[in-house]
Chain A
Amino acid sequence: MAEAKPVERPLSPHLQIYRPQMTSMSSILTRITGNGIIVGVLLLVWWLLAAVTSPDYFDFVNAIATSWFGDLVFTLSLLGVWYHYLAGIRHLIWDSAKMMDIKTAEMLGWICVIGSVVLTALTLIIIHL
C-alpha cells in the first residue's frame, strides 16, 4: 500500500549548477540582445525627434549620435540586431521540428555567434561605401 507520508521528490536542477553549453549560452544571448537593442533604438528615436525640433537641437543630438559613444552604441546594437535576427531564424527552424539534434543545434549556435559578427562587419562596410 502507498505510504501516507509525502514522497521525497528531487529538486529541479538549477541553472547555476550547469556547465555553460553552446545551446544554453546562445539562448541566453537571444534574450540579452533582444532587450539590449532598446538602447540603440532610444538613441535613434532621440536623433529622429531632434531632426524635426530645431537646427540647434539637431546639432546637439547629432554630435552625440555621431560621437565615439554613438558609434559604440549603434555598433553594439547592430551586432545585437544581427545576433537576434539569426537566433530568431534558428527558433523558426526549431519550431518546424528540424535540426534539433545536439550536434546540429550547437552548430546553429556557432552560426549565430560568428554570423552576427560577419553581418555586422558587412553592414558597416556597405553603409560606408
Chain B
Amino acid sequence: MRYLTDRKRAVGKGASGTGTEHHWWMSASAVALAFMIPTWLYIVGTTLGMPQQAVIATFAQPFPAILTALVVIVGMRHFAKGTEIWIEDYARGTTAKALKIAMHSLAYIIMATVLYALGKMVFIGLLLGANG
C-alpha cells in the first residue's frame, strides 16, 4: 500500500519541475517593469549624448539613481529567468545547465556594474555638492 497521496506523487513531475512558480514570477516582474520602463527610457534617452559631468550629475540625483537601480535589478532578473525559456527549448542536460549559469552570471555582472557606477556617481555628486 502506498501512503503518498495522488497529489504528492504528481508534484514536481511536470515539464517545469516547479509548477507555475517561474511563470508567476515573470508575470509579476513584467508588471513592475511596465510601470518603470517608460520613465526610465526618458531619463536615459535625454541623458545620452550629454557631457560626462552632466551624465554624472543626472544619475547622482535620487530619482534617476533609484529608478535605474530598480530597473537593472528587476530587469536583469527578468532577463536571466527569461533566457531559461529558450534554453529549455533548444538545449538539454549539461549544455542547458551551462547556458543557464552563463546567462544568470551575465545578468548579475551587469547588475553589479550598474550599481557600482551609480554608487560612484552619487559619491561624486556628494563631493561636488560639498564644494559648490
Contacts and interface: CB of A to CB of B under 8 A. Distances in A.
A31 to B, nearest CB: 6
Contacts of A59: 52
Contacts of B37: 81, 85
B40 to A, nearest CB: 10
Interface residues of B, number: 33
Given A41-B110, A74-B48, A78-B41, A88 B34 contact: yes
A29 to B, nearest CB: 13
A126 interface: yes
- Interface of B, secondary structure class, is helix
Interface in B44-71: 44-46, 48-49, 52, 55-56, 59
B3 interface: no
B75 to A, nearest CB: 8
Interface in A54-83: 55, 58-59, 62, 65-66, 74, 78, 81
Nearest to B54: A51
B128 to A, nearest CB: 13
Contact of A52 (B49, B86, B110, B124): B124
Interface string A13-32: 00000000000000000010
Contacts of B59: 48, 51
B19 interface: no
A34 B79 contact: yes
Interface of A: 31, 34-35, 38, 41-42, 44-45, 47-49, 51-52, 55, 58-59, 62, 65-66, 74, 78, 81, 85, 88-89, 91-92, 95, 123-124, 126-127
Interface of B: 27, 30-31, 33-34, 37, 41-42, 44-46, 48-49, 52, 55-56, 59, 75, 79, 82-83, 85-86, 106, 110, 113-114, 116-118, 120-121, 124
